[in-house]
Amino acid sequence: MDGKEIQGTKNGRQNRVHLPALVDQHTGAVCAQMPVGAKTNQITQFSAPLVHFLDLKGKVTTADALHTQTPHARYLRARGAHYVFTVKGSHPKLQDELQQIPRDQVPVGSRNVEMKNGRRTIRTIRTIKCVTLTTGFRFPHAAQARQITRKSRVVKATRWRTERVHALTSLLTHLASPADIGALIRGHRVIEHGLHWRRDVTWNEDKSQVRQGYVP
């Protein structure tokens, strides 16, 4: 799940229109998409696209840090679904708790090397069960905490760029390995590349001068 701001459009209160959407990672198909109301926002409308599905049991929802919210986690688990949420600076307390985990004592669970678009990227994932964390850690139904480290450089360069991302998931270790979680997080890019990029660039939506309702 991810939302897109439609530039140039306005709702009834003259705010820009946002369209949260659900995309199937395997097929790239848009499963649901709807506008956020004038008096609400993407966070409060998290469940709106999901109500169109009668059965979510066993499904996994990936979302960016904006949707790393306790009500969202509870909603998904109440319907039998799982989540993979990233944790960034928008949740400083939660991020700080995850950064305090002694990662050097946690073995690497997955390592992936990729050569693409003239760049070499090395991804490593370290996983720890949330039940082994300090008692101060709290997030509904969190089963595993993960740190993804990405090191990348241009093929002919010698300097590496390092990025670390934290993630939480309700998936137990027997349901998803570190490699599985890494694939789910990378697969989240499908909605950016397959939907948002197509609308912005292929269809030139943001350049449209049509201004009527939710168009473009």
Asked if residue 183 belongs to a domain, the reply is no
Q: Which domain holds residue 1?
A: 1-59+188-216
Residues 15 and 108 in one domain: no
Residues 201 and 164 in one domain: no
Residues 40 and 70 in one domain: no
Residues 20 and 107 in one domain: no
Residues 165 and 215 in one domain: no
Asked if residue 39 belongs to a domain, the reply is yes
Residues 93 and 35 in one domain: no
Please count the structural domains in the chain: 2
Residues 16 and 112 in one domain: no
Residues 101 and 22 in one domain: no
Which of the 8 DSSP states describes residue 35? P
The span from the CA of 140 to the CA of 181, in Å, is 18
Residues 207 and 135 in one domain: no
What tens-digit pLDDT sequence spans the chain (216 residues)? 887 666 555 555 555 667 777 888 888 787 877 777 655 677 887 888 888 788 899 999 998 888 899 999 999 999 999 999 999 888 888 888 888 877 777 888 888 888 888 889 998 888 888 765 654 567 899 998 888 888 999 988 889 999 888 899 999 988 988 888 888 888 877 776 666 556 665 556 655 555 555 454
User: What spatial distance separates the first Cα and last Cα of the chain, rounded to whole Å?
Assistant: 21
The β-bridge partners of 87 are 166
Residues 160 and 95 in one domain: yes
Residues 3 and 40 in one domain: yes
- What per-residue confidence (pLDDT) applies to 75? 94
Residues 54 and 76 in one domain: no
Q: 59, 43, 37: which is closest to 3 by C-alpha?
A: 43
The span from the CA of 190 to the CA of 78, in Å, is 26
The β-bridge partners of 212 are 215
- What per-residue confidence (pLDDT) applies to 98? 84
For the whole model, what pTM was predicted? 0.77
